[in-house]
Structure 1
Amino acid sequence: MLKLLLGVLLLLAAFLVLFRAPNHWLWLTSVAITNFPYIPMLLSIGIIFWGYRSQQYQMVTMILGVISLVIYALPIVNAYKMNQRLAKNLQAAFPKDVTIAQTPFSFFNMFRKNETVQYTTLQYAAYPDKKLMLDFYANHQNKKAPLVIVIHGGSWQTGDSKQLPELNSYLANRGYNVAAINYRLAPDYKAPAPVEDTKAVIDFFTQHAAQYNIDTNNIILIGRSAGAQIALCTAYVLQLPNIKGVVSYYGPADMVWGAQIKVSKKVLDTETIYNNYFGGQYNEVPQKFVESSATAQATTKAPPTLIIHGAIDPLVSYQHAERLQVVLNKLNIPNYFVALPFATHGCDYSLNGPDGQICTYAVLHFLNAVVINK
C-alpha cells in the first residue's frame, strides 16, 4: 500500500510540470521540480523498480512510475529540442554573427558547479531618507566593457540585489560588467520610484565610467518579474541611445490588462500589491497602470528586447509576454520570445536546470548581438 500511495503522490506532483500551481506553496514545489527534474525522475525510477520487485499492486505502481518519469522528463526533452533551433532563431531575430562556445543545453551541465565572482558593494544614490546600494561584478578581464544592470523581482515590495546571483558571475566571466541593484520598495515608495532609481544607476556609472571600466555606449537592462516591468519601462520611457537592449524574465508587461484579470489570492495577493505600488486599483489610478505598462510605453525607439516566460507561470500570466511581443512586432522592434512550455515563475532559479541553461544561453547570445564592437 505504501508504494502505491507514493506512486500516486509522485504522479500528482508531476502535474505541476503540466499545469499552473493553484497556490503559493505548490508553486514553490513546481520551481524545484522543473529546475531539478532529475531528482523526481530518480524517484520515479525507484517506484518502478519497487513495483517490479513486489507482487502487490505491481502493475499499477509501475504504470504510475512510468507516467511520472515521462512527465518529469519533459523539461529536459524540450531543452534538447530547443538545442536544434535556438541559436538559429536568435540569429534571425538579432542579425549579427555571434559565436558561443557552448550548446544551449547539455544534460551533464545540470550537475556542474556554478561560477562565482567577488562583487563590490557601492552606493549609487542618496535620498534624504534612504541610501541605495548595488553589487558590482567587474568583468573578468578588468578592462572597459559593457554594463548589464540586473533588477530583482519581489512584487515591487520585497527582494534585493542578492537575488539569484549566479547569472551575475556568469556574465562577468564572459566580459560584462554587472550591477545588481537595490531600489526603493513599496509601500513606502510608489511607482515610478524604481524606474527613477534605475536611471540613477545609469547616471552613476556614466559619471564614474573610467573608475569602473564602463563602456557607457553599451548598457543592457535585465529584470526578473517585477524587476522586468521596471527594466522594460526604463528602457522604453527613457529612450536613451546607449541602452542597447532589455531582457524580461517573466515580467508583467501589460499592467492595464493584467489589472483586470483574476489571480487567485492563494497564489498572489495582487490587490494588496497594486495598492502598495500604484496607490490603488486600476479603477482608482488608471494612469499609473498605463505609465507602468511596457505595452503602452513602447515606441519605434524601443531597444531590442528578449522576452523569457514559462507557460505554467501562476504569478505573472504567460499572456503578458505574448501581448508584449505583438506590440513590438507592430513597431518593428527586434525581439525574440523564449517560450518555455514546462516552465514556471522562477524558471532560472538554477542556471544549470534545463530551462536555466536555455535562458542563460539566450541572454548571452542576445547581449553579444546587441552591444556594439564586442
Structure 2
Amino acid sequence: MTGSIANGLYLFLWCRIITASTSTIEQVMKTVGTWIFGVLLLIGLGLSVWIILPAPIFSLLPFSVGAPEISPGLTIFNALLLILSWLRFGIRSVRRSRLAIVTLCISSLALGLSAQPLIQFAPTQQQAQSAIESNLGRDYLTKIAPESLAKMRSQPLIIADLWRGITSDPVRIDRQIPFANPDGVPLALNIYRPLKVGKYPAIVSIYGGAWQRGSPDSDENFNRYIAAQGYVVWAISYRHAPTYRFPTQNADVRSALTYIQNHAAENETDLDRVAAIGRSAGSQLAMLAAYQNPPFPIRAVVDYYGPVNLTTGYENVPTPDPIESRATLRTFLGGTPQQFPELYRQASPINAVKPALPASLLIYGGKDRIVEAKYGKYLATQLRSQGNRAIFIEIPWADHAFDAVFPGISNQLALYYTERFLAWALAL
C-alpha cells in the first residue's frame, strides 16, 4: 500500500515536471520565434529603404545600387511577412495589441517600398519605347534581321531571370592581348567572339571606375552576352589616374582604336559596323572617342550614366555625394576648373556635340547621385538640336552602376533596348 502511494506520488511529480518543462519550452520557442520574426521584419524594411534612399557615403553604395535590382524578391519576402503578421496576431489582436499594430505597420511599409520599382516599371518601359520609336521610327525593328531579333530578350522584364540569371551561348575569349606600351606601361584588351567563325559587327567596350580602376575583365557578363548575340566585343584598357591624368586616357583609347583598325580582319571584325559602349567614366571616354574623329567611323554610342559636363559637375555636386565628386575630378584632371578651364572643356562630351554624329543611346538612373540623370537628358537635347539621333532613357529607381547586378530589374530593361538599338545601328 505504501509502495503504491509512493509510486503514485513519483508519477505525479514527473508529470508536473514534464508539463512545466513543456510549457517552458513552448514559451522559449515562442520568444525565440518572436525575435526571429522581428529580425526578419527589420531586414525586410532595412533593405527596402535603400530602394528610395541614395547612399550618403561610398561604403553604403552597394545597398543603394543593389536593393532596387532585387526589389521583386524583396516584394515577395515582405508580402509573406505581412501575411504571417496577420496570421500570427489575427484581427482581434490587431485591435488591442500595440505589438501587432507595429508589426503590421513595419511589414506594410516595407512592402510598399519594395514594390515601387515594379509599380513604376510599366510606365518607365512605355516611356523608353516611346523614346526609341520617336527617334528611330515605329518600324525600326524591321531593319533588324529576323534571326538576330529571335536571339534577343523577348521581354523588358523576365521575372525568372532574377533568380536563374541571364544566360547566353558560349563564346570564344582571347584575354590580355597587348595593344600599346606607352611610357613602359603595358596596355591590353580582351576579345569576345561568337563560337562560329565569321565576320561580325563590333562593339568597343570601355569600363568605368572613376578613371582610377578597372580592367578589360570588367563588365564580363555583358561582353559575353552581347558577343553571343553576334558581335565581336573589344574590351579595351587605359592608364589610370592619379598617376596618369587626362588626356592620357583619351590617347590610350585612340591607340586601342588604331589597333582594332589594324587587326580587324584577323579578328573577324567588320570595321564598317562598329559601336562604342561605356559605363560612367568609360562612357565619357567612349563619347569623346566617337564624337571626335575616330580612326574609323563609329556608327553608334551607348552611354550608361556617363559624365557629360565636367565643369558643371564640379561646380554643382550632387547631394549626397558618395564618391566626393570634386576630389575625383581633381584626381582625373589635376586641379579645379578655375585652374584648368580648357582641360575641363576638352574632357566634357557636351562640348564635342556637332552635326553628323553617330546615333546615341543614353541610359541614366533617376536615383543616381554620382552622375545625375539631368545631365544625360541635357546631352540628348543638345545632340538632337544639332540634327543627331539621341535616345534618352531614365530609370527612376536605378542608381549608378545599376547594371553591376546583371539580372537585376534595371539592367533587364536597359539590356532589352541596348541590344535592339545596337542591332538597328549596325544593321547591314
Match of 2:49 in 1: 15
Q: Which amino acid aligns with 2:108?
A: V
Q: Which range moves more in the overlay, 104-113 or 10-19?
A: 10-19
2:186 aligned with 1:117, yes or no? no
3-state SS, counterpart of residue 357 of structure 2: coil
- Out of 114, 120, 126, the residue aligned to residue 72 of structure 1 is 114
- Out of 126, 137, 158, the residue aligned to residue 106 of structure 1 is 158
How far, CA to CA, are the matches of 2:396 and 2:320 in structure 1?
24
3-state SS, counterpart of residue 238 of structure 1: coil
- Out of 6, 24, 29, the residue aligned to residue 58 of structure 2 is 24
Structure-2 change in CA distance of 1:67 and 1:244 (3 Å):
same
Q: Which range moves more in the overlay, 322-331 or 61-70?
A: 61-70
* 1:139–1:178 contact (8 Å) kept in structure 2: no
How far, CA to CA, are the matches of 2:390 and 2:319 in structure 1?
31
Q: Which amino acid aligns with 1:147?
A: A
Match of 1:278 in 2: 333
2:313 aligned with 1:258, yes or no? yes
Name the TM-score, length of structure 2 as normaliser. Answer: 0.81
Q: Which range moves more in the overlay, 56-65 or 222-231?
A: 56-65
Q: What is the identity percentage for the equivalent residue pairs of Structure 1 and Structure 2?
A: 24
How far, CA to CA, are the matches of 2:307 and 2:240 in structure 1?
17
Match of 2:400 in 1: 345
Match of 1:171 in 2: 226
Name the TM-score, length of structure 1 as normaliser. Answer: 0.92
5 Å-filtered alignment, 1:37-52, equals 37-52=71-86
* 1:83–1:103 contact (8 Å) kept in structure 2: no
Match of 2:68 in 1: 34
Q: Which amino acid aligns with 1:369?
A: W
3-state SS, counterpart of residue 104 of structure 1: coil
* 1:86–1:104 contact (8 Å) kept in structure 2: no
How far, CA to CA, are the matches of 2:322 and 2:228 in structure 1?
36
2:350 aligned with 1:306, yes or no? no
* 2:85–2:100 contact (8 Å) kept in structure 1: yes
The alpha-carbon deviation at position 19 of structure 1 amounts to 3.6
* 2:66–2:402 contact (8 Å) kept in structure 1: no
The alpha-carbon deviation at position 350 of structure 1 amounts to 2.5
RMSD after superposition: 2.2
* 1:171–1:178 contact (8 Å) kept in structure 2: yes
5 Å-filtered alignment, 1:225-374, equals 225-238=280-293, 242-263=297-318, 267-373=322-428
Match of 1:61 in 2: 103
* 1:82–1:104 contact (8 Å) kept in structure 2: no
The alpha-carbon deviation at position 45 of structure 1 amounts to 2.6
Structure-2 change in CA distance of 1:185 and 1:177 (3 Å):
same
* 1:80–1:105 contact (8 Å) kept in structure 2: no
Structure-2 change in CA distance of 1:269 and 1:277 (3 Å):
same
Q: Which range moves more in the overlay, 116-125 or 263-272?
A: 263-272
Q: Deviations over 1:224-266 (max 9, x none)?
A: 0111111111111225662001111111111121110124686
How far, CA to CA, are the matches of 1:93 and 1:274 in structure 2?
33
The alpha-carbon deviation at position 118 of structure 1 amounts to 4.3
Q: Which amino acid aligns with 2:350?
A: T
Match of 2:6 in 1: none
Q: Which range moves more in the overlay, 313-322 or 36-45?
A: 36-45
The alpha-carbon deviation at position 10 of structure 1 amounts to 3.6
How far, CA to CA, are the matches of 1:306 and 1:168 in structure 2?
17
* 2:194–2:229 contact (8 Å) kept in structure 1: yes
- Out of 94, 101, 107, the residue aligned to residue 136 of structure 2 is 94
Gaps of 5+ in 1: none
3-state SS, counterpart of residue 38 of structure 1: helix
Which structure has the highest helix share of the two? 2
How far, CA to CA, are the matches of 1:352 and 1:77 in structure 2?
18
Q: Which amino acid aligns with 1:36?
A: I
Q: Which range moves more in the overlay, 97-106 or 182-191?
A: 97-106
Answer 1 or 2: higher relative contact order, Cα 8 Å, separation at least 6: 1
* 1:152–1:226 contact (8 Å) kept in structure 2: yes
3-state SS, counterpart of residue 107 of structure 1: coil
Q: Which range moves more in the overlay, 190-199 or 206-215?
A: 190-199
Q: Deviations over 1:303-339 (max 9, x none)?
A: 1100010010122122221221121121121011111
* 1:11–1:64 contact (8 Å) kept in structure 2: yes
* 1:244–1:303 contact (8 Å) kept in structure 2: yes
> What is the number of residues matched between the two proteins?
373
- Out of 233, 238, 261, the residue aligned to residue 206 of structure 1 is 261
How far, CA to CA, are the matches of 1:15 and 1:333 in structure 2?
40
Who wins on radius of gyration, i.e. which is larger? Answer: 2
Gaps of 5+ in 2: 1-33
The alpha-carbon deviation at position 275 of structure 1 amounts to 2.3
3-state SS, counterpart of residue 262 of structure 1: coil
